[in-house]
Amino acid sequence: MTANGKPYVLVVEDDAPVRNLITTTLESQNYKYMTSVNGGQAVMSAASGNPDIILMDLGLPDMDGVDVIRKIRTWSVAPIIVISARSDDKDKVDALDAGADDYLTKPFSVEELLARLRSTLRRIQYLTQKGDSEASVFHNGSLTIDYGAGTVYVGEQEIHLMPLEYSLLCLLAQNVGKVLTYQFILDKVWVNAIESDMSSLRVYMASLRKKIEKDSGQPQCIQTHIGIGYRMVRLN
Query: Is the confidence at residue 100, as pLDDT, over 80?
Result: yes
pLDDT tens figures, 130-172: 554 455 888 999 999 988 788 899 999 999 888 888 889 999 9
Query: Is the confidence at residue 182, as pLDDT, over 60?
Result: yes
Report the percent of the chain where pLDDT is more than 70: 89
Burial 72-85 (b: 16+ CB within 10 A, else e): bbeebebbbbbbbe
pLDDT tens figures, 54-99: 999 999 999 999 999 999 988 787 889 999 998 888 888 888 888 8
Mean pLDDT (whole number) for 33-55: 93
pLDDT of res. 218: 81
pLDDT of res. 196: 59
pLDDT of res. 17: 95
167: left (phi over 0), alpha (psi -120 to 50) or beta: alpha
Please say whether the beta carbons of 161 and 173 come within 8 A: no
Whether the ω angle into residue 107 lies within 30 degrees of 0, i.e. cis, is yes
Query: Is the confidence at residue 191, as pLDDT, over 90?
Result: no
- Coil, strand, or helix at residue 51? coil
pLDDT of res. 192: 57
Which range among 47-56, 158-167, 174-183, 187-196 shows the weakest confidence by mean pLDDT? 187-196
